[in-house]
Amino acid sequence: MIKYFKYILKKDYKTLFSSALLLIFLILFTCFLNKEHNNKPIFASLIIFSMGYVFFIAYRCIALLTKDLYSNEKYFTFTLPISKVGIAFGKYLYALLYIIVMQISILIIIFLTSYNRMMASHVDIKNHIIIPSLTFITFFILLYSVYYVLLVTGKILLKNEKIAKAFAVALSIIIISIIINIVTNLLFDRPYNLEVYRLAYIILTLVYTITSIILTGISGILLEKYLDA
């Protein structure tokens, strides 16, 4: 698992970190150009660039999954002296690293552009930023794991690549939409209470993490039993 993670990191680390630095540079450059100190362009830029970065991370994670299932690289990957479960968890760790770098980049931007206002407003950084960020990270890795297990299932059951990918995407959207709806109803349809929210975020983080690990393990087992290189 760790060996495969290091192998992927060695191949892709330049893309990972250069994309994060580019995001930070674009936001800070927007701040520099904003000589009138109008917060609206900064906020709009933050939203646009962050959304673009999220889509980029999603694209990279999906590419990481599909190239070993549907390209000639599978003949190399799945003949390595590493179990398919180990390969699945190696990819899981690398996707997690991508998501963590993404979140840290966004947090750096928020601190650099809003630190004074946050301090003036007495924002609780731990409860309002750090803990929700952990939940955000684990939610994205859960999304990754859901897509992976469905992609592997589609690969096993369906011969057509496009149909298998469409199957994985459609079911992933449905499952994640259900999760978001449940969480929204439980968490946000009630009066604000910091302690309740903090506990809810912590529980969600644990649930997302455990579920994603289980799904990744299932993906590895399915690959081990039903998929030949």
SS3 112: helix
Does the pLDDT of residue 182 top 70, yes or no? yes
Domain tally for the chain? 1
Most confidently modeled of 11-15, 183-187, 206-210?
206-210
Q: At what angle do helices 39-70 and 84-120 cross, to 10 degrees?
A: 180
**What range does the domain containing 151 cover?**
2-226
pLDDT in tens, 56-113: 777 777 777 777 777 666 656 667 778 888 888 988 998 888 888 888 877 877 777 6
173 compared with 49, residue with greater pLDDT: 173
Q: How far lies 140's CA from each of 44, 48, 223, in Å?
A: 23, 19, 22
Does the pLDDT of residue 172 top 80, yes or no? yes
Can you give the pLDDT at residue 159?
A: 73
Does the pLDDT of residue 214 top 90, yes or no? yes
